[in-house]
Structure 1
Amino acid sequence: MLKLIERLGPVEASAASDTLTLPFELRIRGRLKAESDAGQALGLFLDRGPVLRDGEGLKAEDGTVVRVRAAIEPVVTARVSAGLPLARLAYHLGNRHVQLALGEDEKGGWVRFPPDHVLEELATLLGARLEHHNDTFDPEPGAYQQLGHAHAHDHGHHDSEEVEVAHEHSHEHSHEHSHEHSHEHGHDHTHGH
């Protein structure tokens, strides 16, 4: 069995010796036994982290690279007018804390998710037209994950310190502003009488 132990991020097809096609529900796992598209036994031994993306490379202990492919599976694509209706649709569906794919094509913008009657009903209430079909489901990465796994891993502590400093600064600024404003308002009020 070939042990895949490292995420490489996006790789060209020519850089990989084999491919591994998985549905979304298996691309969210860090530990998995599978068979490559060429029939080779594979074991994924990865850190828990972001969803394996379509086109992402995985490196084996011996240096072999296997490229992940998103499987064709049942999906629902919700379409609504561009602009505020599309933003509202993405906002309300995203508020359900589910994975969503976002995109656009010749028909306009869309939001895609696995079949789910609650999400489908909500999308319909928001004016979306639903298309039930088979396609890849490659959800939008979280905003922090878009920085890249290596960046988050290598500089995680540094980023956390920056967030703390920014938070403390904002808090102090807000506190001082509120305090001064309240004090001045109270002070003016006393002199007014």
Structure 2
Amino acid sequence: MLESLIVLEHRLAANHSCGVRKDRQMELPLTADERMVLRARRRTRCGKEVLLQLPRDQALQPGDRLMDGEMTLQVEVIAASEPLLRVSAVTLLELLQAAYHLGNRHVALELHEQELFLPDDAVLASMLRSRGLKVSSCNRAFLPEGGAYGGGHSHGHGVAST
């Protein structure tokens, strides 16, 4: 017997409590790029296929809870582990300069006081090393900054002009 596709149509408000049974709750691991796509087929941690059919208002965030049309199934978004570069520097200024140059290239960045994380890319790793930065590969959840216009990777689309 074929299992039917689960269609996720609703995003719960952060303060909304939902009385879904424990056996009707699942986790949906998504990479940072996958969290930007609100209409796609994905697979839950337990292997069930789901179809995202969400309003295109904002990117998904870890901790978001999604529901099916009947509001009987709850799926929590979690940040999936993905290949990243970890960048550190001797001085804070060197790290700030690296963030500046990566930002000029529209590279998604996760910022911390002593290090940066960005998607694994050999060209960027070479550029950063040539600037004297320490670069290493790792696999972990990626939580990039949302951007100047509120979280979406918009490159100015939908931004009102004056």
**TM-score (ref. length: structure 2):** 0.73
What SS is found at the alignment partner of 1:24? coil
From 57, 66, 72, give the equivalent of 2:65. Answer: 57
Partner amino acid for 1:38?
Answer: C
Question: Larger Rg: 1 or 2?
Answer: 1
Partner amino acid for 1:56?
Answer: D
What SS is found at the alignment partner of 1:99? coil
Per-residue Cα deviation, 1:8-51 (whole angstroms, up to 9, x for no partner): 46689x98821101233422322111222233331101234544
Partner Cα distance (1:9, 1:130) in 2: 38
Deviation at 1:89, TM superposition (A): 1.0
Report the CA distance shift for 1:49/1:98 in structure 2 as closer, same or farther (over 3 A). farther
Partner Cα distance (1:87, 1:7) in 2: 36
Per-residue Cα deviation, 1:163-190 (whole angstroms, up to 9, x for no partner): 74xxxxxxxxxxxxxxxxxxxxxxxxxx
| Residue segments in structure 1 that go unaligned for 5+ positions in a row | 147-155, 165-193
Percentage of pairs with the same residue: 32
Does 1:114 pair with 2:122? no
From 74, 82, 87, give the equivalent of 1:78. Answer: 87
Greater RCO, 1 or 2 (C-alpha within 8 Å, sep 6+): 2
Partner amino acid for 1:88?
Answer: Q
Per-residue Cα deviation, 1:133-188 (whole angstroms, up to 9, x for no partner): 21112211113225xxxxxxxxx9xx95xx74xxxxxxxxxxxxxxxxxxxxxxxx
Partner Cα distance (1:116, 1:22) in 2: 19
Partner amino acid for 2:95?
Answer: L
Match of 1:87 in 2: 96
From 132, 140, 146, give the equivalent of 1:127. Answer: 132
Name the structure with the higher helix share.
Answer: 1
CA RMSD of aligned residues (A): 3.0
Partner Cα distance (2:83, 2:52) in 1: 25
Report the CA distance shift for 1:19/1:126 in structure 2 as closer, same or farther (over 3 A). same
Partner Cα distance (1:81, 1:9) in 2: 42
Does 1:101 pair with 2:105? no
Partner amino acid for 2:44?
Answer: S
Match of 2:154 in 1: none
| Residue segments in structure 2 that go unaligned for 5+ positions in a row | 152-157
Does 1:138 pair with 2:143? yes
Report the CA distance shift for 1:126/1:4 in structure 2 as closer, same or farther (over 3 A). same
What SS is found at the alignment partner of 2:115? strand
